Structure 1
């Protein structure tokens, strides 16, 4: 799952490394998760596919720039959890292997997370997910 931070009532903060550590949701004021700034260099013909991938992974665009007439440098702020699973492989597949990807830490930022679990609280059946995806 990766570490997440929560802010509870009375200003206390806790670092959560598994969903079973979450306190009562009524005591949580805000969730935070780690973000990165991702830099992608891609041929111009793949910009649409790369932008779609980044937005689908909850990315926020930053200013882009032309490297030359054939290549663009795109930057997105992305949740680390969206990058570590299969982002690089998916990017390479979408761009026929021509895009490159690098990222740097961007700190913890507010996020709308909820615990997803079966009726029983069992670690392997629990995780934290984005609320917007769970409501669909």
Structure 2
């Protein structure tokens, strides 16, 4: 039987839609054979351009296919061309929020899921879950999910 010897991080979905002022849980799952306690980090990356306006502001008489909304051009840019910041990290039962998110209802729950309470417009973007284990440096230790916050 083949056994995975490296950390593997994965998301159940590539994209999540959530309503403004509601809460959302972004699930992150990982597997490892290591017995060391991992450091779980969640990172935020803004869009390369305004995804909300792009998705919902179409010129008159324009026919839009649903497949057109699946384009990832709003994600394909260098990190230096957008906002990138850590949201939170967890080591064991200790959770630390980054300065930008202090005072917000944000936590890492379960093994590695990110819970954001009372979503704001600026929360739309790409969220990356990264799992760092000192004695398991190989494998795919990061996965990401796109979050689009919608108004009512």
**Same fold at TM > 0.5:** no
Larger fraction in strand: 1
- Normalising TM by the smaller chain, what interval? under 0.3
Per the normalisation by structure 1, the TM-score is 0.25
Going by fraction, where is helix more abundant, 1 or 2? 1
